[in-house]
Structure 1
Amino acid sequence: MAAMGDARAGLVGRDAELAALRAFLDDARSDGAALLLTGDPGVGKTALLDAAVDAAADAGMRVIRGSGIEFESELGFAVLHQLVLPLAAELGRLPESQRAALEVALGLGVGNAPSQIAVLNAALGLFAEAAADDPLLLVIDDLHVVDQPSIAAIGFIARRVHGRRIGVLAARRSGPDGAFRPTGVAELDVAPLTDADSLRLLARRFAHLPKRVLSSVADDAQGNPLALLEFAGTTGASGERAGWVGGPARDVNALFSARIGQLPERTRDLLLLAALEGFGDLHILQSAIAPAGFDDLAPAERDHLVIVAEDDHTMRFRHPLVRSAVVDGSTAEQRRAAHRRLADVLVDRPDRRGVHLAKSTTTPDESVASVVEVAAQTRLRRGDPGGAVAMLRRAAELSPDAGDGRRRLSQAAYVAAWTAGELDTSHELLDAIKGVPGGQPIGATAAAALLVLVTEGDADTAYTMLMPALEAATSVDGPRTGDVEDALFTLTLAADYLGGREYWQPLMDLVGRFPDPSPASAATLARVHHDLGLMDNEQLRRLDAAIDRLRDETDTDIVIRTALVASYVDRLPGCRESVTRVIRDGGAVGSSMPGLIYLALDHLYAARLSAASDAAAELITLSERTGYPLWAQVGHYAAAMAAAERGDLDESIEHCERIWGWSGPRRVHRLVKCAHFARARAALGVADFETAHRHAVEVCTPGELARFNPEAVWAAPDLIEAAVRTGRIDEARAHAEAFRSAGLERISSRLALISGLCSAAVSEPDEAVRIHEETLTIPGLEEWPFEIGRVHLAYGEVLRRQGRARDARRQLDAARKLFAEIGARSWENRANTELRATGMSRAQSGSELTPQELEVARLAASGLSNPQIAERLFLSPRTVSSHLYRVFPKLGITSRAALRDALDASADADRQ
């Protein structure tokens, strides 16, 4: 690594900081590293960044710089734009979905809104691609005024640089205005210089000044390098100084202001445009000042206030305090005029144009309000819901028509609650709407109903609010606005959780006014929830096509709503990647919670029980922390069902009781039924069939596969098995006939498996054998291991009762193995119990150990501990423990003490 001597930019007294930067750059070049410099304004953070940049370039690293800009902090991804723009070639090499996410988010292309996580992953992919050739250093100054979406991106990347040869070096001010501290990133505090170093710096740069003058300057500057240099530069040999005294940062600002005030008026105008433009783009500045040229910039260059890099057509201020002084020295009218001139030249960049127009206008103006609204929609499409809310609020303020103002505030309130997860903001906006004359727009009703639903669980009130509003809004022909779609979606959610014909029939009458809906629409959701059988083959084909497109979909709402429909018809595996993008490290907190619901259900249906429990726990924690208790109850259901299938009876019951305690008093009937479903599944696992039946009939009435009750479909095999095992044969047959009549087996392989289970359970033995054989040939059944295990178990039970012990053992052993693999311990025990009933010994039923499991078991039987076994077999102790966890149920034992006898019995059985 090239040395960073203190001669660079007059760096004196920074040996420790330079050593830390050298170590950081060495780490960044070899494996990746991140470092954050903190300190007061003018303390030398930028000079240290400059030194690191020079050293990195000397060492062959590629360097890209960006800087926060106080007057552009409202512009989403402004700083990320600075970091991405120099990587046009690498951007073209990214996968299409990542390239599109970045281009849309940064305004370099058009398309559907990317989720913030999609943008963050794409940015990381871009920088990793660039670092594949040469190590990459990203340098970001003034982090304390970086826009929030870019802050999320920088923190996301900084925590993931290891192994990628990417360095992230940033600087921020100390104090309350520098609140951003990326977790997991090392910090280096840049302290003021000592008195001795202050004098050494001054003596080096201002040898012509008397020592007493330098001592006075050092005393006034208090160790702040920028103040030292600026004070000394304006001090004569007599000790008189232009400006005034009272603290380094304030004094430097005053000095910069005085120097700027002495510039020609046209130069000051140009500097103000540059300060407010924020990116230093000479092309934009040239357009804004036409027909004048850049000759007026020369006085500022000569006074070392700005630096112009003609090779890349940019201009930057020598120090952020210069930019602040330029703006602070202008009048409000001058700033408005500058914003207007910038807006006039940014006609092809709606996001930035909207920001400048919003700041240039003081009175209501619909032409401006409409542009600002378009900018808000652009923010939303680019994955910045918080920025979209802020822009919609500003658009409402600028709306001369009260109705337009209410509509824009309504949109902001809904986005805040559903996408951004900002409940307080949504409440505040709805309160503001009440103060605007006129009736409440349907968008405000939708937002208010959503808040009531997700925060209080009051689905009845939400339904009562929305139904008349939607009846009125759809009573005439015309286009369905986004506000109407949001209202219908929220009404569907409310009816979903309420259940009951009295809620669903009026909704379905209303949905009839929405012909040929898209797969992600509220009308499609209502229809599939009302009756799975209404999904014909053409609709399923369209849904499958929509799911295929999700891989490149950047609109968070489309992903979430498509996944919701997909969850009813077993299409969640195709949504997994897109839903995960919405959740992980994303800024759309509101959308992350439904995303976690679908992720937990996807894991649950695929029998990844531990992963389902983890996603449910994450959902519960996030929902409770952000004030969305309704989603937390759904998390408790997923956790209850995962625990039920694992055989953790007490845990499952605890989650069910949480649901009943919260949902019951609020009449959230669907969640109450979900808890009964989980309780029935848990009871079946431990062969408590009477308890299972008692809870299953709470999910649905035997013999009736009611509409608006999807749990009745999924719980059908549980109800039928419990009824058969408790002697309620007629009831079981009636329910199996209801399921068969529904014709749901065509929808998915999982529903086909369930249909086979239901039919076989009430058939005569020979017919049941035939049905089970056919069921096990269903294409795609491998996606649903828990249901396959149930089929093998039921098949083995039928064969054993026919006296076909050998055939029964084959099916029961397949069931045992499947349940063991997915960790369904209580169901594994049921299979083992049936195996023993065929006459197979416990040792025989578990004799099929893998070679490594057998070796681990033998060593454990000899008395070796897990660490000793791990050392002998070159495994980790955790791996040894996992092997033994699988060995015990295979051998039908519960402790190490029984290992030797079980292995001996197994060996004897194999020899027979």
Structure 2
Amino acid sequence: MERSAEGGLPPVLPSLSAPRFVGRAAELHRLTEALARPPATVLVEGEAGIGKSRLLQEVLDEPGVAARRPLAAMCPPFREALTLGPVVDAARDAQPDVAELVLTPLAGVLRPLFPEWGQDLPPAPETLSDAGAARHRLFRALAELLDAMGVGVLVLEDVHWADEATLDFLLFLASRRSRRMSLVLTYRPEDVPPDSALMRLTSRPPPGTGYVRIRLGALDVPQTAELMSSMLDGEHVSETFASFLQERTDGVPLAIEESVRLLRDRADLVRRDGEWVRRTLADIAVPPTIRDAVAERASRLTPDAQRVLRAASVLAEPVGPAVLATVSGLPDNVAGQAVDAAVRSGLLGEDRAGRVSFRHALAARAVYDMTPAPDRRALHRRAARSLRALTPQPVSRLAHHYREAGDTGRWREYAELTADLALASGDHRTAVGLLHELLTGSEPPAASMARWAQKMPVLAFTGFVGRGDLSRALRRVLDGEALAPHDRAAVRIQLGRMLLHAGEYAAGAAELERAIPDLADEPFQAAWAMNTLGSPPGTLMSAREHRRWLDRAADAARLPMTADQRLALVVDRATALLDMGDEVGWAVAAELPDTAATPEGMMQLARSGLNIANAAMRWGRYDEARALLTTGLARAEEHRYQRLHDIILVTLVHLDWFTGDWDGLAERAAALAAVDEEPLLQLDALLVTALLDGAVGGSAANPGPGPAAEGGLGTVEERLRLVLDAGLRRGVVDVPLEPAAALARIRLAEGSAAKALELTEGPADVVARKDIWLWATEFAPVRTGALLAVERPDQARQFVADLAKGLSGRNLPAADAALETCRGVLAEGEGRSAEAAAAFGRAATAWQRLPRPYEALLATERRADCLLVAGDRDTGLAELARAQAGFAALGARTDAARVHAARRAAGAPVREVWRGGRRGYGDQLSPRELEVVRLMLTGLTNPAIARALSRSPKTVAAQLNSAMRKYKVTSRTALAVSLTQAGITPSEGHASGEGSGEGSDL
């Protein structure tokens, strides 16, 4: 008989059983209770090997849960994403016959995902160009399928590996108002990317649902002993042994199990005095990681069984024993025995369908990593050959295997097929990711590049173009000589579209212009490119140049093309003309039909409503804008145009800011500022939050995640600066106009006239170069004031004259109101107080007629100031009281407080509430300010005043700026007039003109 190494009998090796469910009773109870009250969202998180899958296995065996028809899926660690692959595969396995289900025509969207169900699914609907709408329609269809199947619990494991489409689908399910299905998701927190959509689901419990978050921790020593005992026929395990193993495995159940199996294989387990203990060695080398334990256990199997393990690690998913044997490359006469041996080792397991796979992903990865690279490539090639024989072909997995096998040609073939499948399903984002990888791969064929570029869905480029590698790859192809003119034009058009959608307007327009000569045989593409060049926001072309491109596009649109294409061109033309302030745009818009026969046509009509509403808002036709937006919102909801829906919402927020509908506006704007993947939408919402905060005082709402939260931004000025800088960086020439005007107002109010003027230089240059004076509406008054404040009255007069000329003969209500405001500012700055009061009165009336009450109240306040200066005290005070009441009713606390102080300074009987602390001078001049202004009235410059009072010139400048703010003027001249009318006289003993030759440093 063989002796052991120690000279005794060979050790008795224990027979090992599968471990029982240990140490998770409380977690099982919480999970079962949550699923008993649907709908619930349950998140199970923990490190690898901690027991997440085992917990799910136990709960799915509970009678109450099983009765709700759970559907379990697992996210594989593949690089290639298949559109909704985990859920699709699980549904395919659970419902082999779809004919018995009651489905609506919407289910036709699922045909590309389930080609084997083609004859039983409704016809496929028309494709949608809008990425958001297409994806939302796909999600609705898949949710309908799951509902028809009666799925009450959707379980998804390893969500940290989920593709974006699957994560977005989970968010869609969680947010459904009619939701009945519960969700159970498992993931490893440490493996979740920081920008993963999963973070939104884990950080924001869906409203109206049960929400349970279970964190699985390590087993303690008694639980470790119980787990070990369950593997050893229930016999006792010494506490010392359990403590030893718990310490070295950190209490991770899978590590404990693998260590027990390895110790058994090593004969390091002995039974002594009725309990299992470790051998009396100084120490037993327990592997420090699960991978090490698996690697050692695998090395103890026969070479044939090891080949099966390597094949299973490459496949990385449950497969039939025949497929596993084929991929392993073993002869038929030994393959079956090798598969059985690998299963008996406990490393592989069988599911209820008889498919074989690793029991844990970590074990599969350990075997994969220790497989030599040449062997891995050969296994991937055999896996691909085996999977190609399946119907339907798993194109995403084939792409994965060919990539890992190093077969670039086959990888490109199947990656393109996967992208085609994603496009056909409406999953534009997955398609873009795959096509991006194809286009930026190493030296792809030029002809293929042209084909791949043309497949890129137009509205799904966010995030890829900004990285630069895609545009560089396309430009390399364009710079070569291998493309035919038609292909070159197609690539250039797509590149232009990508750049435009990413906000790189100038670069995108340049590519479109280069493409036009090669588009003679493509009238729609040529007309679309010309219309895009005719769009004012994209470049610094003049209005005349834009109009020339629009007219060329109209000529091209007379050539043969589809009704939907022609409709798209009309929408673009109307939008561009209205953006330029051209009345002809309304006539073009009137040509648009009320409905369309196709989904694409309806999409174009929905887009037209938004664009025309935007133009109406810019023109000051606010009632018309609201009607169009309300109709567009209903249409977007009816047809599930999610992206359009969100853009309409933010446009309504902006409109409500203009029209004074401020109740709840801060919260709505902040919520939209957090919308993912829509930077321009976020910026518009962020702008409104900043404008609103500036008026109401303090923070109207927390802007939440998104641009406002980056880098700790959040103040009014920081948000305005962020919007301004983003608009300048992206080349969207009209985006910076409004934030620049708001920032300039702040600077002018604090006495920094030069900075205010600088902020308006860019907008003024844009308006002058483009000759689109409609765009001056927001910044024209503050620019006029800034020019006067820096003592450039001639330039101020010229600017107002140019504005009047540019608006002459046009019916632009908002711009006309701004012009009247500019006339009031100009007259006030030149000391013509009565004329200024009349102009501000006309401006207030014009603003209120829109209605735009906030601007009307600001004009009323300035009219009151001018009346007081002109000597009409009673009317001026009455107007101030009216302005204060209006600001208070609107919620503009900052402005109401300012007017209150002005009334008090003018001697009106106002109630004042003192809340303690040091009293200030409010809007009255302090004694030190009074000394400065009296010397200023003698004609002294700032340095001369500083010398006379023994102060620094900087202090004198600050005190003069403070005086100007208190008197609501923006120049020394206007301040002198106001001081004289208020009865303040020059200081005696200082001759006018003293210190001549020194320039003012204001």
TM-score if structure 2 supplies the norm length?
Answer: 0.54
Aligned-pair distance for 1:50? 1.0
Moved more, 799-808 or 426-435: 799-808
On the 8 A contact 2:579/2:615 being kept in 1, the answer is yes
On the 8 A contact 1:37/1:188 being kept in 2, the answer is yes
Relative to 1, partners in 2 of residues 1:101 and 1:186: Cα closer, same or farther, differing over 3 Å? Answer: farther
- 2:888 matches 1:820: yes
- 2:266 matches 1:202: no
On the 8 A contact 1:69/1:145 being kept in 2, the answer is yes
Separation in structure 2 between the aligned mates of residue 272 and residue 341 of structure 1, nearest angstrom: 20
- 2:776 matches 1:712: yes
Separation in structure 2 between the aligned mates of residue 236 and residue 563 of structure 1, nearest angstrom: 75
- 2:408 matches 1:340: no
Q: Secondary structure at the match of 1:64?
A: strand
Equivalent residue in structure 2 for 1:171, among 186, 193, 200:
186
Separation in structure 2 between the aligned mates of residue 219 and residue 723 of structure 1, nearest angstrom: 76
1:601-660 residue CA offsets vs partner (Å, 9 max, x unmatched): 45643547798888988999999xx998x9998788666655665579997777777788
Separation in structure 2 between the aligned mates of residue 100 and residue 812 of structure 1, nearest angstrom: 65
Separation in structure 2 between the aligned mates of residue 317 and residue 806 of structure 1, nearest angstrom: 88
Separation in structure 1 between the aligned mates of residue 778 and residue 888 of structure 2, nearest angstrom: 23
Aligned-pair distance for 1:390? 1.0
Q: Which amino acid aligns with 1:480?
A: F
Q: Secondary structure at the match of 1:677?
A: helix
Relative to 1, partners in 2 of residues 1:702 and 1:421: Cα closer, same or farther, differing over 3 Å? Answer: closer
1:430-488 residue CA offsets vs partner (Å, 9 max, x unmatched): 47647965359346556766888899x98666655543333x234x242434xx68866
| Structure showing greater Rg | 2
**Correspondence list, 1:689-838, <5 A:** 707-713=771-777, 739=807, 741-744=809-812, 785-786=853-854, 816-825=884-893, 827-828=895-896
Aligned-pair distance for 1:51? 0.7
1:532-553 residue CA offsets vs partner (Å, 9 max, x unmatched): 423224515749879x999x98
* Corresponding residue for residue 385 of structure 1: 429
Equivalent residue in structure 2 for 1:249, among 250, 269, 294:
294
On the 8 A contact 1:580/1:599 being kept in 2, the answer is no
Separation in structure 2 between the aligned mates of residue 231 and residue 20 of structure 1, nearest angstrom: 29
* Corresponding residue for residue 187 of structure 1: 215
* Corresponding residue for residue 66 of structure 1: 73
Aligned-pair distance for 1:408? 1.9
On the 8 A contact 2:760/2:783 being kept in 1, the answer is yes
Q: Which amino acid aligns with 1:441?
A: R
Q: Which amino acid aligns with 2:156?
A: I
* Percent pairwise identity: 13
* Corresponding residue for residue 480 of structure 1: 524
Q: Which amino acid aligns with 1:567?
A: N
- 2:605 matches 1:605: no
On the 8 A contact 2:44/2:185 being kept in 1, the answer is yes
Separation in structure 1 between the aligned mates of residue 772 and residue 294 of structure 2, nearest angstrom: 67
On the 8 A contact 2:129/2:458 being kept in 1, the answer is no
Q: Secondary structure at the match of 2:568?
A: coil
Aligned-pair distance for 1:206? 10
1:774-830 residue CA offsets vs partner (Å, 9 max, x unmatched): 99787xx5xx55467569879999999999989996x98776555334433455467
On the 8 A contact 1:583/1:595 being kept in 2, the answer is no
Separation in structure 1 between the aligned mates of residue 472 and residue 499 of structure 2, nearest angstrom: 14
* Corresponding residue for residue 38 of structure 1: 46
Separation in structure 1 between the aligned mates of residue 666 and residue 383 of structure 2, nearest angstrom: 55
On the 8 A contact 1:459/1:494 being kept in 2, the answer is no
Equivalent residue in structure 2 for 1:567, among 614, 625, 636:
614
Relative to 1, partners in 2 of residues 1:499 and 1:720: Cα closer, same or farther, differing over 3 Å? Answer: same
Q: Secondary structure at the match of 1:26?
A: helix
Relative to 1, partners in 2 of residues 1:126 and 1:612: Cα closer, same or farther, differing over 3 Å? Answer: farther
- 2:437 matches 1:408: no
Separation in structure 1 between the aligned mates of residue 186 and residue 690 of structure 2, nearest angstrom: 47
More helix by share: 1
- 2:581 matches 1:531: yes
On the 8 A contact 1:376/1:391 being kept in 2, the answer is no
Relative to 1, partners in 2 of residues 1:11 and 1:564: Cα closer, same or farther, differing over 3 Å? Answer: farther
Relative to 1, partners in 2 of residues 1:305 and 1:511: Cα closer, same or farther, differing over 3 Å? Answer: same
**Correspondence list, 1:412-451, <5 A:** 417-418=461-462, 423-426=467-470, 429-430=473-474, 433=477, 438=482, 441-442=488-489, 445=492
On the 8 A contact 2:44/2:184 being kept in 1, the answer is yes
Aligned-pair distance for 1:49? 1.0
Separation in structure 2 between the aligned mates of residue 592 and residue 330 of structure 1, nearest angstrom: 50
- 2:56 matches 1:53: no
Q: Which amino acid aligns with 2:58?
A: A
Relative to 1, partners in 2 of residues 1:661 and 1:334: Cα closer, same or farther, differing over 3 Å? Answer: closer
Separation in structure 2 between the aligned mates of residue 841 and residue 603 of structure 1, nearest angstrom: 34
Q: Secondary structure at the match of 1:438?
A: coil
1:554-597 residue CA offsets vs partner (Å, 9 max, x unmatched): x8x9988975664333347446799999999x9x9xx9998998
- 2:532 matches 1:468: no
Separation in structure 2 between the aligned mates of residue 128 and residue 815 of structure 1, nearest angstrom: 56
Aligned-pair distance for 1:66? 1.8
Please, what is the CA RMSD of the aligned residues? 7.5
- Equivalent pairs, count: 765
Relative to 1, partners in 2 of residues 1:729 and 1:279: Cα closer, same or farther, differing over 3 Å? Answer: farther
Separation in structure 1 between the aligned mates of residue 665 and residue 165 of structure 2, nearest angstrom: 30
Moved more, 53-62 or 688-697: 688-697
On the 8 A contact 2:724/2:739 being kept in 1, the answer is yes
Q: Secondary structure at the match of 1:518?
A: helix
On the 8 A contact 1:306/1:315 being kept in 2, the answer is yes
Q: Secondary structure at the match of 1:138?
A: strand
* Corresponding residue for residue 881 of structure 1: none
Relative to 1, partners in 2 of residues 1:687 and 1:794: Cα closer, same or farther, differing over 3 Å? Answer: farther
1:153-187 residue CA offsets vs partner (Å, 9 max, x unmatched): 447767x7999897543334687699977443553
Equivalent residue in structure 2 for 1:14, among 22, 33, 45:
22
Structure 1, unmatched stretches of 5+, are 1-8, 281-295, 847-856, 863-912
- 2:199 matches 1:146: no
Q: Which amino acid aligns with 1:188?
A: L
Separation in structure 2 between the aligned mates of residue 819 and residue 106 of structure 1, nearest angstrom: 61
On the 8 A contact 1:74/1:147 being kept in 2, the answer is yes
Equivalent residue in structure 2 for 1:496, among 521, 538, 558:
538
Aligned-pair distance for 1:319? 4.0
Aligned-pair distance for 1:68? 1.5
Q: Which amino acid aligns with 1:528?
A: L
On the 8 A contact 1:61/1:136 being kept in 2, the answer is yes
Relative to 1, partners in 2 of residues 1:805 and 1:532: Cα closer, same or farther, differing over 3 Å? Answer: farther
Moved more, 403-412 or 644-653: 644-653
TM-score if structure 1 supplies the norm length?
Answer: 0.58
Separation in structure 2 between the aligned mates of residue 701 and residue 400 of structure 1, nearest angstrom: 44
Q: Which amino acid aligns with 2:518?
A: A
Relative to 1, partners in 2 of residues 1:328 and 1:675: Cα closer, same or farther, differing over 3 Å? Answer: closer
